Amino acid sequence: MNDFRLAMIGNNSAFEQTWSTYTRVGEYYISIKTGYFYRSVPKKFTVNIVDYTHMEIAIFDNHHNWVQPREDEYISNYNNINMLLECYEEGEIAVGNYVPIELIQDLVNYLEKSTDM
């Protein structure tokens, strides 16, 4: 996926003041959210998706269960795992907060290769 933000176009709500997507990427699903209620920069709704520099993410397995990146066999081998973990809240509901869009794009590219496992 050249730019994960393209999957978010059409998935915005001015009423809810959010942009979001839940997209299959390789063997995983990734949820990406921005806006007033999410841990994103800017922490407001803007009509232009490219205005965001950081977004909130969550990763799910094929059965839609939350994935803890540190504990996942494939993701734990991601070359930027330490940068990703710096953004992550660990626990039953694992969420990446204020994740830079460049890191999200790199992670999406890595997850796309998971079908080759």
Q: What is the mean pLDDT of residues 91-115?
A: 94
Residue of 76 and 6 predicted with greater confidence: 76
Q: What pLDDT score was predicted for residue 14?
A: 63
pTM of the model: 0.90
Residue of 41 and 46 predicted with greater confidence: 41
Reported confidence tier of residue 15, pLDDT bands at 50, 70, 90:
low
CA angle 64/32/96 to nearest 5° reads 85
Q: Judge whether 38 and 55 are in contact, CB under 8 Å.
A: yes
With CA atoms as reference, report the closest residue to 8 among 36, 41, 30, 38.
30
Q: Judge whether 27 and 62 are in contact, CB under 8 Å.
A: yes
* DSSP type of residue 111: H
